[in-house]
A and B are shown apart, each in its own frame.
Chain A
Amino acid sequence: MTDFKKNDPRFGSLSHSEDERLFEMIKRGASRRDVLKYFMASGATLAASGALFSSATDAIAATPKSGGKLIMAADQHGPNDTLDPALYTSAADYFRGRMFYGSLTRLTPSLGYEPELAEEIISNADATEWTFKIRQGVEFHNGKTLTADDVIYSMNRHLGADSVSKAASLVSMIDRWEKVNDYEVKAILSSPNADLPIALGTFHFKIIQDGVTDFSTAIGTGPYKVKEFAAGVRAVGVPFENYWGEGGYLDELEHYGIGDPTSRLNAFLAGDVDAMVNLPPKAIEQVQSADGKEIWALKSGAYVNITPRLDMEQSGNMHLWKAMQYLQDRQRLVKGVMKGQGSLGNDHPINAAYFDHCPDIPQRELDPDKAKFHWDKSGIGSTPVPVVAAEVAPGAVEQCLFMQREGQKIGANFDVKKVTTDGYWGAVWLKEPICVAAWNMRPTANLMMTLAFEGSAAWNETRWNNENFNQLLVDVRGETDPDARKQKYCDLQAMIQEENGMSLPMHRNYVDAAASHVKGRTEVPLNNFGGAEAPVTLWRDS
């Protein structure tokens, strides 16, 4: 019988005994009417009981079966694959990490969090001190019980100037971790961060055992333990018999990369692998029409953009980048390039996939008149404007070509140079006056803006530096009043849209594909395969 957790949003309003009762009724073949009658009698409203019925039947259809094997294909993998959570760099690492390890919190599809290895999470009033009560009776794959020491050891690896962690910036406001007792730890922050538990639910903050330095295998608390791992070859997990929670239903979960997109698609269509990441947009229709194959897409905040450097002669011309923004054919990019698997960009990074998205900012559209107005004001005339592009993500090159074409109609001469993706991030990005970039979604709006829009950020692409923006970005982290928080985030997004200078024409979905027997798919919009959260819940339907 499925064990309903208190925080399960589907059944949140019912007590546990009522859950059980409802389930029993439906299982015995009760009709919708019977269920309605039962709950009406017990005082529920008609609408509420109707909703309950449908969510409970969904849950029964989705009651996981145990057994079977699934093969999940990532894209790039190689000798830098690792089992050290602090060093993860790729989607393949993230997914593998979820197979073998657990973390304090677990992210939800709406990018909130729910408790995982931390049973309870409590913050002080200004979000500068966070207490994590650690779940008792959790076992590592080698039989050791999880305690505060393991958590503190795992967390300390992300702190300090000599940390090797790829995610150190997400927790840089943590001053220190303190052990309260064997099952309680405390994070003391140097500045407020209301989103800390969300950051700790991301890929790198997996809990390892106290003192571990050898990562040739993974001793975690995850639902699967390592059967086989070789970097760039494959990872195979088998169920961990003493896993503390629900999940880990498969007899075997295999995961490896197939770098070539055509080969990956062939392997998927031929049934050699059960699911694949990054379906090429061109293949979307092919998969939709294939028997037993489904698209596994997630609306996300990932985006492609064109970034002018404001500190350079030509690209710093305000009327130039304003014209570029009005020359973006956003609709066509989403429909033509992404086959609808994307959403319109509005020249700021926080789209509706984020919790703190501001819906009040008007959508910027292709507008040749406004573009022409700004172009004429810029005084550039027919002088070529170099734009360097590489195929760093679907649409990255097309956005420039579409802009070039629209530009010709108003007399603008964009000189689009296409270069190879190999070495692009080191040699071109952040260096050329105007170039393209591709970004993954971050768990919170604040993180995204801190990474790439705060004035002193290393990845500040346009070198835009607005004191008010920088200050507000810090202030909002300690803001606990929901209305004030919303207003502040709206202001931040509007400032980027007006002043930052980049054109952001399109957000792209994560578009993966899975065979229809692949069940228990997750929908956390942070990465492929449901935010790499799927390993826990995946199961195979016959």
Chain B
Amino acid sequence: MLSLIIRRLGIGIISVLAVSVIIFVGTMILPGDAEQIRLCQEATEANIAAMRERLGLDKSIVEQYLIWLGNFVRGDLGVSLASDAPIIELIADRYHNTVYVAVLTALIGVPISLALGILAAMFPGSLYDRILTFVSVSLVAAPEFFTATLLVLLFVFALGIGNAVVVGSTEGKDIFGLIAHFALPIATLSFVIASQLIRMSRAAVLNVMSSPYIEMAILKGVPRRRIIMRHALLNAIGPIVNVVALNLAYLVTGVIVVEVYFGYPGLATLIVQAVQTRDFILIQGLGMIFCMTYVVLMLIADVAALMSNPRLRHPK
């Protein structure tokens, strides 16, 4: 078990390294020049050369990569090209918004979605199941900005409650204050993750339900609710946890549209602004943070799957 976890960890580190190469090379070949944008078209040959030297861009690309990676491992994300501010500071001003929204969405959206999905699996083919399937398929097809627009139209303009953008500071707010503060972004994201979670949890449970040992239980006369809660659900946890982890990673890394739409400063808007200003050091730092969030969540999901399903611990 422990050796398996260590192996997963090793694979995680290798993926982070592989992604770091992609991020580094990707930002290096990005067209445009931070200094040119920063100087507002006043860039001259001389100050571009000076900046290249300051950033070490005159060294070979392998050397640059190793220096950058070494700094990153030591926790030094460097200094933003657009503002000269340490990147850690820029991130510190914003990460809490992204984390609040992700955590609150997870706390609210995940349990509700799983419950709805499992409920649907209890009564496959019922009217409830069909309505839920129809709604969740429609939601899968709706992009975030569409859902967000509908929510703003309904709540802000038709009902006159809530804010069209997320304004003000979160300082000193408790969990209910935060939920009210981020109500519409949380609702939008909950809809986005709900569709997938409902469908996957329903499918996972139904998949287990068709296996022979469940048939045995049915023949024995065990009530359906008891079969699902006691026998089927445990075996379905593996795939469900995986989907939950994927969605949580999406909540941290993929909320660009939602953050921009509701106009609050988080990590996702920061990376958009970094791309606009060609601040490739900031892009690299954020890219690595996103990648590591992803890898850590996947690692947790894998371990959870291993623990819930002994068969996975003994691969053939």
- Residues of chain A having any CB pair with chain B under 8 Å: 71, 76, 78-82, 89, 166, 228, 230-234, 258-260, 262-264, 266-267, 269-270, 272-273, 422-423, 425-427, 429, 458-459
Contact = CB atoms under 8 A, between A and B. Distances in A.
B157 A270 contact: yes
A71 B85 CA distance: 26
Contacts of A267: 163-165, 167, 263
B82 A78 contact: yes
Contact of A231 (B36, B37, B90): B90
A273 B165 contact: yes
A263 B259 CA distance: 11
Contacts of A259: 260, 263, 269, 272
Contacts of A231: 83, 85, 90, 93
Interface string B61-102: 000000000000000000010110100001001100000000
B32 A423 contact: yes
B31 interface: yes
12 contacts: A78-B270, A78-B276, A82-B83, A230-B93, A232-B265, A232-B270, A233-B93, A259-B263, A263-B164, A263-B165, A267-B163, A270-B164
A46 B97 CA distance: 64
A79 B277 contact: yes
Contacts of B83: 79-82, 231
B160 to A, nearest CB: 9
A426 B83 CA distance: 19
A233 B277 contact: no
B42 interface: yes
Contacts of B94: 232-233
A230 B169 CA distance: 11
B167 A273 contact: yes
A427 B163 CA distance: 39
B231 interface: no
A349 to B, nearest CB: 17
B163 A79 contact: no
Given A78-B273, A270-B163, A425 B41 contact: yes
B156 A270 contact: yes
B58 interface: no
Contacts of B80: 79-80
Contacts, number: 106
Interface in B278-302: 278-279, 282
B53 interface: no
Interface in B237-282: 260-263, 265, 269-270, 272-274, 276-279, 282
B282 A79 contact: yes
A344 to B, nearest CB: 27
Contacts of A270: 152, 156-157, 163-164
A357 B51 CA distance: 41
Given A79-B274, A260-B261, A270-B156, A426 B36 contact: yes
Nearest to A421: B276
B90 A79 contact: yes
Contacts of B40: 89, 166
A266 B38 CA distance: 30
B215 interface: no
Nearest to A169: B42
Contacts of B42: 166, 458
Q: Is the interface of B mostly helix, strand, loop or mixed?
A: loop
Given A89-B40, A230-B265, A427-B32, 8 more contacts: A79-B85, A166-B40, A263-B263, A266-B164, A269-B157, A270-B157, A272-B163, A273-B167
Contacts of B41: 425-426, 429, 458-459
Interface in B13-56: 31-33, 36-38, 40-42
B103 to A, nearest CB: 20
Nearest to B266: A233
Contacts of B163: 267, 270, 272
Given A272-B163, A426-B32, A264 B263 contact: yes
Contact of B33 (A81, A263, A426): A426
A231 B42 CA distance: 23
B173 to A, nearest CB: 15
A11 to B, nearest CB: 39
Contacts of B265: 230, 232-234
B165 A423 contact: no
Contacts of B260: 259-260, 263
Contacts of A82: 83
Contacts of A458: 41-42
Contacts of B273: 78-79, 232
A427 B30 CA distance: 13
A101 B293 CA distance: 42
B277 A78 contact: yes
A258 B259 CA distance: 10
Interface in B149-202: 152, 156-157, 163-165, 167, 169
Contact of B152 (A166, A264, A266, A422): A266
Contact of B167 (A76, A228, A272): A272
A464 B173 CA distance: 60
B146 to A, nearest CB: 12
A272 to B, nearest CB: 5
A426 to B, nearest CB: 5
B167 A80 contact: no
Nearest to A426: B36
A340 B165 CA distance: 29
A439 B277 CA distance: 20
Nearest to B272: A259
B224 to A, nearest CB: 47
B31 A427 contact: yes
A166 B152 CA distance: 40
A230 B38 CA distance: 19
A260 B163 CA distance: 16
The 6 closest A-B CB pairs, nearest first, are A78-B273, A266-B164, A258-B263, A80-B82, A267-B165, A270-B164
Contacts of A166: 40, 42
A263 B165 CA distance: 7
A217 to B, nearest CB: 13
Contact of A423 (B31, B82, B85, B156): B31
A267 B263 CA distance: 9
B34 to A, nearest CB: 10
A513 to B, nearest CB: 14
B156 A266 contact: yes
A61 to B, nearest CB: 30
Nearest to B148: A263
Contacts of B165: 258, 263-264, 266-267, 272-273
Given A166-B42, A230-B93, A79 B279 contact: yes
Nearest to B91: A79
B261 A263 contact: yes
A474 B262 CA distance: 50
Contacts of A263: 164-165, 260-263
